[in-house]
Amino acid sequence: MNDQLVISTKVDKDVYDYIEQNKARYGSRSVMVSKILSDFIKQKQNASAIGERIIVFMDVKNVEAPVRNADQFVDYSSLLAQLSMGRDIVDAMAFDGKEPTNENNKFHQYLASCGWKLDLRAVDASKHQKEVDMSMGVALISRAIRDEYDTAIVVSGDRDFVPAIEYVKSLGKRVEVVSHKVNISESMIHVADSVAYLDNLFIMEMGA
């Protein structure tokens, strides 16, 4: 691994400059990034949220499409740390299509190494992922019925998840929606208890 930093979305330039200026003191950018993430979690953690159980449900395609188009990369380990905010992570599930050629195997292995549990579904020749969306909606509902979480973090802006979100909220669960600004639907904004944007999170990957 070299020491080249790859900005994933819209990392604040002041943060980037701070890393550059303090790299020598901390030994490497990797150490500096870890410290910033640790401080970020401490600042955001709410004492009343101690013991709050969360499950993260991520629609991989919804996250990946904008950054891949821009030749950018997401650090999914840092993403998970920021989404949890120090709360009790029951599970982190990544839902994605599985290509017949297994061409995305390396990416899926990377997700697994970052702590994500993969739920992969076959996609048709047209690349439609309705089976993927259905699987994520079913998991969101079934795990709420079994009372396995207090808060669901839905990493997707796709309005197809609105009915599932409405149902789990009727069971008394909170739902936080996280998405790129360009990918989030108005109906998802209205149904969520809170909304956060990937564009504003400090998610980066060290150049390989």
Report the CATH number that the domain containing residue 80 is assigned in CATH.
3.40.50.1010
With contact defined as beta carbons under 8 Å apart, do 101 and 77 qualify? no
Residue 41: per-residue pLDDT: 53
If you average pLDDT over residues 6-29, what whole number do you get? 56
Residue 33: per-residue pLDDT: 61
Position 9 confidence tier, pLDDT thresholds 50, 70, 90:
very low
% of the chain with per-residue pLDDT over 90? 40
With contact defined as beta carbons under 8 Å apart, do 96 and 132 qualify? yes
Residue reference for tokens 């944007």: 197
Position 190 confidence tier, pLDDT thresholds 50, 70, 90:
very high
Which one, of 88, 81, 4, lies nearest residue 37 by Cα? 81
pLDDT per position as a tens digit, 41-84: 555 555 445 678 999 999 999 898 877 766 667 888 888 888 88
**153 or 131, which is more confident:** 153
The β-bridge partners of 5 are 206
**From CA 3, how far away is CA 28, in angstroms rounded?**
8
Which one, of 128, 191, 123, lies nearest residue 159 by Cα? 191
Sign of the C-alpha dihedral, residues 121, 126, 128, 131? negative
If you average pLDDT over residues 180-208, what whole number do you get? 80
If you average pLDDT over residues 125-143, what whole number do you get? 83
The β-bridge partners of 88 are 53
The model carries a pTM of: 0.76
Position 179 confidence tier, pLDDT thresholds 50, 70, 90:
very high
Which one, of 66, 90, 75, lies nearest residue 179 by Cα? 66
Domain tally, the chain? 1
Q: Would you call 172 exposed, middle or buried from its count of C-beta atoms within 10 A (0-12, 13-18, 19+)?
A: exposed
Element (H, E) at 29: helix 29-44
- The answer on pLDDT for 208 being more than 60 is no
Parent domain of 179: 5-206
- Indicate the range of 29-38, 66-75, 99-108, 171-180 predicted with least confidence: 29-38
**108 or 5, which is more confident:** 108
Residue 73: per-residue pLDDT: 76
**4 or 88, which is more confident:** 88
Residue 19: per-residue pLDDT: 63
